[in-house]
């Protein structure tokens, strides 16, 4: 039984299923297009980092081909490490049968009589600030690490677990560097190596990443061994966030629904707490007195809401009202805003729907887009055009003494890209300062309908716009409309991968974006109408 680093950050049931011979034929979803693209993007990022590093270290650099069979890859790695090669890219370490692990790291760097792992990831690993231990890409070694005056660490538990896993493998092979457990990460920025001290007591409870890793790995190994040998399963399905992207959902989902598992309405810690108190099904939760004391403390929502949500799930209701009266801020002039981005690469489209009193600007939908593949400086032009239009709406509304509300659905994405655009394109024509963006998104004008839906309703099937807006009677023109599909359409629309740009897909994206803003418009009109009272009130269930 040999496990790789991923198991440590993975759902325990998934580890079970992946090692249970009886689950070999159980239904599994194929990799979706988004995941496939992420895998390809991550591989391209690793390659580009390898090329940069190799340029700086031609004489000290060696690569192990990923195309070799595992055994030969491992032998080639060992040969390079035993020669003391300073930088080994793509190494696969000897498996550790006693410890039950296998794996490698993108880069192994020579240090104090052995090696340290450096992994390459496609997410941000620092934030502006100070205090991270970093070394430049020109010197990706611990000896060159300094306290960075411009970067602070953005800690990722998964990265630390991967580094700890590789350190244990190096240790088992007698190849680990002397000194404290240390590993490096090169992130999306690909500008420095960020070093983690994995012996530091930075984890909750005051223990280190190494201690956390050892405990988690021992647990996953026990789960996998029990599954492989037909022992009592140590992990049962329970709905968690990871289920959304897990290939095993076609197996776990129906099982959880059939057993009416309490995790269908509650998540994480609360599910564990209620199970501990003997409340294992939605029906058992629904039967409790919502005005009474909870059988175990729950933190994700009030006990009353938990019982109402269970009752909504029993009746297959998408929504129930949390209050007798539903409120949504309205104004003389209203704007619905929706942004489309392509992963981390950029925000390529800002769509706006203007409605309400006449301010001398045409009402209806407007799109501010760049069709040059992001990242592109042309993104600055389209963002500036969006901001200038919004500023015009705000000024004209204020001049006329009218009120204004601008709506979005889940402000996190829009806020993030507005702030990031102001930062990235600072100084370009028409780009606002981050302070100006901050002033707008903190103002009462900016209304997050997603948060409002959470305040006003309990949502038994999730809070996504595609789930909620149909309750308000809205439907999308495109039967395949989804965030995931929009990524694929975008690739075709701008000709990523060298193809000709597909103009039909651009039109499709514009229709999709226009529908999204019309959906928030329809949702809030419905929330301010009497029709919303057709949604049952939780207390009446």
Interaction site with ligand SF4 (CB under 6 A): 11, 13-14, 17, 237-238, 240, 242-243, 246, 248-249, 252
Contact (CB, 8 A) for 306 and 314: no
Start-to-end CA span in the chain (Å): 50
CA distance 515 to 365: 10
Q: Which residues pair with 146 in a beta bridge?
A: 134
Q: Among candidates 97, 199, 194, which has minimal Cα distance to 153?
A: 194
Q: How far is the CB of 12 from ligand SF4 (least distance, A)?
A: 7
CA distance 109 to 517: 50
Q: How far is the CB of 149 from ligand SF4 (least distance, A)?
A: 41
Between residues 240 and 413, which has the closer beta carbon with respect to ligand SF4? 240
Q: How many residues are present in the chain?
A: 541
Q: Among candidates 360, 357, 438, which has minimal Cα distance to 405?
A: 357
Between residues 17 and 352, which has the closer beta carbon with respect to ligand SF4? 17
Q: How far is the CB of 233 from ligand SF4 (least distance, A)?
A: 12
Between residues 191 and 242, which has the closer beta carbon with respect to ligand SF4? 242
Q: How far is the CB of 252 from ligand SF4 (least distance, A)?
A: 3
Between residues 27 and 364, which has the closer beta carbon with respect to ligand SF4? 27
Q: How far is the CB of 38 from ligand SF4 (least distance, A)?
A: 17
CA distance 77 to 64: 7
The dihedral sign for the CA sequence 365, 368, 370, 375: negative
Q: How far is the CB of 207 from ligand SF4 (least distance, A)?
A: 25
Q: How far is the CB of 18 from ligand SF4 (least distance, A)?
A: 9
Between residues 140 and 237, which has the closer beta carbon with respect to ligand SF4? 237
Between residues 248 and 440, which has the closer beta carbon with respect to ligand SF4? 248
Q: Report the interhelical angle of 503-527 vs 449-456 (nearest 10°).
A: 40
Between residues 135 and 238, which has the closer beta carbon with respect to ligand SF4? 238
Cα dihedral value 381, 382, 387, 392, nearest 10? 90
Q: 3-state class of 488 per DSSP?
A: helix
Between residues 32 and 242, which has the closer beta carbon with respect to ligand SF4? 242
CA–chain centroid gap for 403, Å, is 36
Between residues 257 and 531, which has the closer beta carbon with respect to ligand SF4? 257
User: Cβ atoms within 10 A of the Cβ of 168, count?
Assistant: 22
Q: How far is the CB of 217 from ligand SF4 (least distance, A)?
A: 18
CA distance 437 to 391: 11
Q: Among candidates 243, 230, 232, 248, which has minimal Cα distance to 271?
A: 243
- What are the φ/ψ torsions at residue 206 (nearest 5 degrees)? 80, 15
CA distance 457 to 453: 6
Q: How far is the CB of 19 from ligand SF4 (least distance, A)?
A: 12
Tokens of 156: 């990722």
Between residues 16 and 524, which has the closer beta carbon with respect to ligand SF4? 16
Q: How far is the CB of 15 from ligand SF4 (least distance, A)?
A: 8
Q: 3-state class of 374 per DSSP?
A: coil
């Amino acid at each position: 039984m040999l496990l790789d680093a991923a198991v440590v950050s993975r759902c325990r049931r998934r580890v079970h299923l992946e090692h249970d011979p009886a689950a070999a034929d159980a239904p599994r979803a194929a990799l979706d297009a988004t995941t496939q693209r992420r895998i390809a993007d991550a591989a391209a990022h690793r390659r580009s980092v390898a090329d940069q590093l190799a340029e700086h270290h031609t004489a000290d650099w060696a690569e192990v081909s990923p195309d070799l069979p595992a055994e030969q890859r491992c032998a080639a790695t060992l040969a390079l490490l035993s020669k003391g090669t300073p930088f080994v890219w793509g190494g696969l370490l000897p498996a550790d049968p006693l410890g039950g692990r296998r794996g490698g790291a993108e880069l192994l760097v020579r240090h104090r009589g052995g090696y340290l792992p450096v992994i390459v990831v496609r997410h941000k690993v620092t934030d502006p600030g100070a205090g991270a231990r970093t070394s430049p890409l020109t010197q990706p070694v611990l000896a060159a690490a300094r306290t960075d005056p411009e970067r602070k660490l953005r800690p990722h538990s998964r990265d630390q677990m991967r580094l700890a896993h590789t350190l244990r493998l190096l240790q088992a092979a007698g190849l680990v560097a002397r000194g404290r457990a240390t590993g490096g990460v090169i992130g999306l920025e690909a500008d420095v190596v960020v070093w983690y001290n994995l012996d530091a007591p930075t984890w909750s409870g005051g223990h280190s990443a190494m201690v956390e890793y050892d405990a988690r790995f021992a647990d996953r190994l026990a789960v996998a061994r029990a599954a492989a040998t037909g022992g009592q399963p140590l992990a049962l399905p329970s709905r968690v966030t990871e289920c959304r992207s897990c290939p095993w959902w076609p197996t776990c989902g129906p099982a959880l629904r059939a057993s009416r598992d309490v995790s269908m309405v509650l998540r994480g810690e609360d599910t564990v707490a209620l199970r501990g108190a003997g409340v294992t099904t939605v029906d058992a939760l629904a039967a409790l007195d919502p005005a009474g004391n909870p059988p175990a403390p729950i933190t994700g929502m009030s006990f009353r809401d938990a019982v109402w949500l269970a009752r909504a799930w029993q009746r297959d209701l998408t929504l129930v009202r949390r209050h007798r009266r539903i409120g949504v801020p309205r104004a003389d002039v209203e704007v619905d805003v929706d942004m489309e981005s392509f992963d981390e690469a950029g925000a390529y489209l800002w769509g706006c729907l203007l409605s309400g009193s006449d301010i001398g600007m045409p009402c209806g939908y407007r799109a501010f887009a760049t069709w040059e593949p992001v990242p592109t400086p042309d993104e600055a032009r389209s963002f500036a055009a969006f901001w200038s239009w919004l500023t015009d709406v705000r000024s004209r509304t204020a001049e006329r003494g009218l009120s204004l509300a601008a709506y979005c659905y889940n402000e996190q994405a829009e806020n993030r890209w507005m702030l990031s655009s102001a930062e990235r394109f600072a100084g370009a024509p028409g780009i606002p300062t981050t302070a100006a963006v901050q002033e707008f998104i903190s103002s009462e004008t900016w209304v997050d309908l997603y948060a409002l839906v959470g305040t006003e309703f309990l949502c038994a099937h999730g809070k996504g716009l595609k789930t909620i807006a149909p309750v308000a009677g809205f439907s999308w023109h495109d039967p395949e409309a989804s965030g995931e599909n929009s990524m694929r359409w975008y690739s075709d629309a701008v000709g990523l991968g060298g193809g000709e740009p597909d103009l039909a897909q651009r039109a499709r994206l514009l229709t999709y974006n226009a529908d999204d803003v019309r959906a928030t418009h329809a949702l809030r009109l419905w929330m301010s109408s009497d029709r919303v009272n057709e949604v049952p009130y939780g207390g009446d269930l």
